[in-house]
């Protein structure tokens, strides 16, 4: 049995009770460490909370050498841990298909995600978000890629909000922060932004203002996300004022 | 303190560990029973699992008479329980704003959602979904509303998948099933569909085929969701075959 278990958003308490049960009765547990990491908990924190050894796996250790995980699942219960929801990345769908082809029973235990949290914390309605995008570190693409700006503009034309994931180099523990992201985008867009920090923790922060203003602020420990709002309903406007300290003038354009 | 706690997708074990902790240390707990209900657990199940009395609230009891909830949160810790993620509905944002205006500290504890699960269980990639829609019971709108078909068509033109929520009349425990939904849509659309049943449970079901074929099948206990796929990547096609038993010919049009 191979169970893909979502660790959820932030730390060792972000997992669901079902996920924790699945983890605690596993014979072996692996954690992938390349598509995402919990900002608020280390592997050691997870191990001590759940009382089980967890074997880390990098990209090569899953994609090029899945055999140890599959062999363990042939004969025992294996929990494969992933930050957020476990099947968001294609690499995990691929592993699940390999297990299925081999006759191994698979299970998915869902986790909370940044997508829902960005909406929940800001008060921006989930169904009014368009397609999401990811802002890469500038050196990887020589600045802000056109595809990011195109996605934001296409959403805004239809009145939709855009969730912008900020680049993560998990292997180097390098995470783009909200001030860097808003500074990059302020060169191309003249609009409001909403930074969400530490979604899923006990002290999340939401801050809404002009991109150029946010570029001069700091938002504390990771993880940071950015939302570019589209048209705002009155309730969304009220929520950004109340929970994101947004100046009324900033939201007038939306 | 007023904490909005997401119960997640399916039953009393779908809550996160953080949510469970928040619930168990609350002085009073309320559960809203009008935007969503857990398919796999009753209020009594939640009460016995978490060892706390839970007071149900209908729409009128939250929207027109929020005073008892707010008064309790003025002086003690209150957990306000909602299926899925707690802030998906505007009615809860409104309650949070009322609490904020009154100087009550608020907190959001996220839950797993149908949106993520529909993607995870089917292998359809999250970022390739367009805007979601809800299919109402036919008597409410005299058939399938144009808005539902327009959303599906607009998504398909852009190659995107559509998550179709099926109507729920929570107060009457009346839930639209996958066979009813696919029969309704098969009169208007000639394409594949993917029914997802019991997302978040230990025995979820995924079934992909022509809408007209799905209309003659049954999918067991609730909750049911429907996805209308857009363009399919090879991995998505493989996943629908492996986990949804999709005939190859059905997916050829995608």
> Residue B67 has what pLDDT?
95
Cβ(A198)–Cβ(A241) below 8 Å: no
Residue B53: name the closest of B71, B72, B30 by CA: B30
**Contact B34/B88 with Cβ under 8 angstroms?**
no
Percent of chain A with pLDDT over 90: 80
The whole-number pLDDT of residue A251 equals 84
Instruction: Return mean pLDDT, chain B.
Output: 93
Tokens of A108: 């998915």
Average pLDDT estimate for B89-102: 94
- Count the neighbouring beta carbons within 10 Å of the beta carbon of residue A252: 10
CB B185 within 8 A of CB B135: yes
Radius of gyration (Cα) for chain A, nearest Å?
19
Q: Which band of pLDDT confidence, cut at 50, 70 and 90, is reported for residue A80?
A: very high
Q: How many helices (H) and strands (E) does chain A have?
A: 12, 12
Please tell me which of the candidates A21, A96, A132 has its beta carbon nearest to residue B127: A132
Residue-level pLDDT at A201: 96
- Mean confidence (pLDDT) of chain A: 93
Query: Given CB atoms, is B193 within the 8 Å cutoff of chain A?
Result: no
Residue A151's pLDDT is 94
Q: What is the pLDDT of residue A37?
A: 80
pLDDT of residue A62: 84
Q: Compute the nearest-CA separation of B136 from chain A (Å).
A: 16
Give yes or no for residue B173 having a pLDDT over 80.
Answer: no
Cβ within 8 Å, pair A108-B120? yes
Residue B72's nearest CA partner among B24, B104, B31 is: B104
Task: Tell me: pLDDT of A117 over 80.
Answer: yes
Asked if residue A238 has pLDDT above 90, the reply is yes
Q: Which tens digits make up the pLDDT trace of A209-224?
A: 999 999 999 999 999 9
pLDDT band per the 50, 70, 90 thresholds, residue B130: confident
Q: Is the pLDDT of residue B34 over 80?
A: no
CA angle A127, A225, B116 (to 5 degrees): 45
- List pLDDT tens digits, range B232-249: 999 999 999 999 999 988
Nearest by Cα to B31 from B21, B44, B18: B44
Residue A89, pLDDT > 90, answer no
Q: What is the mean pLDDT of residues B66-83?
A: 96
User: In a 3-state reduction of DSSP, which class is residue A22?
Assistant: helix
Gyration radius of chain B over CA positions = 19
3-state secondary structure of A99: helix
Burial class (CB in 10 A: 0-12, 13-18, 19+), A8: buried
Band of residue B212 on the pLDDT scale cut at 50, 70, 90:
very high
CA separation (Å) from B231 to A91, B80, B124, B129, B202?
19, 40, 10, 10, 29
Q: What angle do CA A250, A219, A42 make, to 5 degrees?
A: 145
| Residue carrying structure tokens 């297990």 | A99
Residues 58-97 on A with a CB inside 8 Å of B are: 85-88, 90, 93-94, 96-97
For the record, the structure tokens of B44 come out as 């009594």
- Say whether pLDDT at A174 is over 90: no
- The pairing of strands A168-169 and A174-175 is antiparallel
Residue A60 structure tokens:
């090569």
| Contacting B residues, span 115-134, partner chain A, CB-CB under 8 Å | 115-117, 119-121, 123, 125-127, 130-132
Contact between chains at A120 and B108 (C-beta distance less than 8 A)? yes
Q: How many CB atoms lie within 10 A of CB A50?
A: 20
Nearest one of B28, B159, B86, B248 to A131, comparing CA atoms = B159
Residues of A in contact with B88 (CB under 8 A): 116, 119-120, 126
Q: Which of A112, A130, A238 sits opposite B111 (nearest CB)?
A: A112
Interface touch A86/B15, C-beta < 8 Å: no
B17 reaches A (C-beta below 8 A): yes
For B77-92, give one letter per residue: b (16+ CB within 10 A) or e. bbbbbbbbbbbbbebb
Burial class (CB in 10 A: 0-12, 13-18, 19+), B138: middle
- For residue A123, pLDDT over 80 is answered with yes
Q: pLDDT at residue B75 above 80?
A: yes
Q: What are the structural domains of chain B?
A: 2-109 (3.40.1010.10), 114-253 (3.30.950.10)
The answer on pLDDT for B254 being more than 90 is no
Least confident of A4-18, A212-226, B32-46, B206-220: B32-46
Could you list the beta-strand ranges (E) of chain B.
2-6, 28-32, 54-57, 78-82, 106-109, 133-135, 162-166, 168-169, 174-175, 192-197, 205-210, 224-228
Q: What pLDDT does residue A159 have?
A: 94
Stretch B217-227: mean pLDDT? 96
> What pLDDT is stored for residue B103 in this prediction?
97
Distances, alpha carbon A167 to alpha carbons A87, A138, A151, A178, B62, in Å: 19, 10, 16, 11, 40
Whether A181 shows a pLDDT value over 90: the answer reads yes
Residues of chain B with Cβ-Cβ distance to A131 below 8 Å are 127, 130, 160
pLDDT (mean) for B88-94: 89
Q: How confident is the model at residue A18 (pLDDT cuts 50, 70, 90)?
A: very high
Q: Is the predicted pLDDT of residue B43 greater than 80, yes or no?
A: yes
pLDDT above 90: percentage of residues in chain B: 80
pLDDT at B229 (0 to 100): 97
H helix intervals, chain A: 17-24, 43-50, 59-63, 67-75, 90-101, 114-122, 138-141, 146-157, 178-186, 211-214, 234-244, 248-251
Shortest CA distance from B105: residue in chain A:
A243
Q: In degrees rounded to 5, what are phi and psi of residue B118?
A: -60, -40
pLDDT per residue over A142-154, tens digit each?
889 999 999 999 9
Q: Name the strand (E) or helix (H) holding A194.
A: strand A192-197
Residue B150: the pLDDT is: 96
Confidence band, pLDDT 50/70/90 cuts, at residue B55: very high
Model-level pTM? 0.94
Strands B162-166 and B133-135: parallel
């Amino acid at each position: 049995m191979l169970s893909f278990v979502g660790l959820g958003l932030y730390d060792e308490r972000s997992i669901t009770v079902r996920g924790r049960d699945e983890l605690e009765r596993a014979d072996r547990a692996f954690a992938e460490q390349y598509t995402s990491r919990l900002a608020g908990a280390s592997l050691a924190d997870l191990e001590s909370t759940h009382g089980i050894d967890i074997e880390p796996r990098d990209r090569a250790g899953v994609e090029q050498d899945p055999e140890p995980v599959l062999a363990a699942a042939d004969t025992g219960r294996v929990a494969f841990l992933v930050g957020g929801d476990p099947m968001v990345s294609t690499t995990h769908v691929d592993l699940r298909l390999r297990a299925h082809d081999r006759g191994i029973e698979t299970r998915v235990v869902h986790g909370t995600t940044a997508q829902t949290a960005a909406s929940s914390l800001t008060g921006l309605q989930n169904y009014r978000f368009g397609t999401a995008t990811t802002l890469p570190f500038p050196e990887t693409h020589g600045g802000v890629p056109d595809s990011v700006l195109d996605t934001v503009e296409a959403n805004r034309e239809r009145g939709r909000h855009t969730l912008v994931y900020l680049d993560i180099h998990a292997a180097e523990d390098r995470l783009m922060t909200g001030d860097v992201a808003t500074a990059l985008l302020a060169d191309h867009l003249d609009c409001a932004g909403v930074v969400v920090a530490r979604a899923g923790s006990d002290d999340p922060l939401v801050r809404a203002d002009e991109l150029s203003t946010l570029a001069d602020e700091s938002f504390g420990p990771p993880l940071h996300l950015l939302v570019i709002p589209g048209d705002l309903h009155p309730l969304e406007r009220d929520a950004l004022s109340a929970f994101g300290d947004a100046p009324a003038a900033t939201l007038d354009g939306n």
